[in-house]
């Protein structure tokens, strides 16, 4: 897919899915804005990618920082066409009675409020120009309980509803909103899950997880019209039909 002339902003771009998406989208011709709290990591990645990338340190739990990041992206690249709400957290993994309420709330701040902040700030740029694409990394955890993951399941369910709301309110204004449920991905999050020893997901072998490059390819495919049938909904990368379309079967 040729994204020459397009600008994409990616949260959680310092590693894992976000970093691979940045590389792939830049390779497809897009200008990329790398957003994460890890300033050093995104600066290094921007240096690797080259002039088409800009690193923007940002804590997505603070709306004013997200707003500034979006404005910095527009200033650097001249616009904003695609937002990928990728940043996510899962720790501390704990059953509800043992969970620290403050730490529990911090996951909600990242996974739910952070997604809303990204959507809200992007709409300020996208609506006046007639539209844009907003992709959010979802999870199978949005659809059912997983032991020790009350904060993660709740926040991912909420984030999926935000995608549905975005589509409900702004599809007619040109906004394409889709969630991607990738399955288990070989990233640091899976190492943290493994270390917890709670629930069957922690018992999976590393070889059971898909590479983050597959998720990046799915996100790129979702920017094309072939994915329009999923607007307002969720695409599952566990689906062999989707994997074939994306080219990772």
Q: How far is CA 76 from CA 33, 54, 56, 146, in A?
A: 9, 7, 10, 41
- Written as six digits, the tokens of 133 are 């694409």
Element (H, E) at 213: helix 212-222
Catalytic pick among 6, 31, 139, 155: 139
Residues 223 and 230: their CA atoms lie apart, in Å, by 11
Catalytic pick among 6, 31, 113, 156: 156
- Catalytic annotation present for 156: yes
- Catalytic annotation present for 245: no
Instruction: Report the SS3 class of residue 176.
Output: strand
Residues 148 and 139: their CA atoms lie apart, in Å, by 15
Helices (H), 6-82: 16-27, 39-49, 63-77
Nearest Cα neighbor of 127 from 80, 71, 178, 160 is: 80
- Catalytic annotation present for 63: no
Catalytic pick among 14, 31, 113, 152: 152
Residues known to be catalytic: 139, 152, 156
């Amino acid at each position: 897919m040729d994204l020459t002339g397009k600008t994409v902003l990616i949260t959680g771009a310092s590693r894992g899915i976000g970093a691979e998406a940045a590389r792939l989208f830049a390779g497809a011709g897009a200008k990329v804005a790398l957003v994460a709290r890890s300033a050093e990591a995104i600066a290094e990645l921007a240096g690797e990618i080259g002039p088409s990338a800009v690193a923007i340190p940002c804590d997505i739990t603070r709306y004013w920082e997200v707003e500034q990041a979006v404005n910095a992206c527009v200033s650097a690249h001249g616009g904003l066409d695609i937002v990928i709400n990728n940043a996510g957290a899962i720790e501390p993994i704990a059953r509800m009675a043992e969970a620290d309420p403050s730490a529990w709330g911090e996951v909600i701040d990242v996974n739910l409020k952070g997604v809303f902040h990204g959507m809200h700030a992007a709409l300020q740029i996208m609506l006046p120009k007639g539209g844009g694409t907003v992709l959010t990394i979802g999870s199978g955890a949005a659809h059912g309980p997983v032991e020790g993951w009350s904060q993660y399941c709740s926040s991912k369910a909420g984030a999926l509803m935000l995608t549905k709301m975005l589509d409900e309110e702004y599809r007619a204004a040109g906004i394409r909103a889709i969630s991607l449920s990738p399955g288990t991905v070989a990233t640091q999050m899976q190492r943290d899950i493994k270390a917890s020893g709670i629930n069957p997901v922690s018992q999976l072998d590393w070889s059971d997880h898909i590479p983050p490059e597959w998720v990046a390819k799915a996100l790129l495919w979702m920017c094309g019209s072939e994915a329009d049938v999923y607007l307002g909904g969720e695409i599952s990368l566990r689906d062999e039909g989707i994997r074939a379309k994306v080219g990772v079967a």
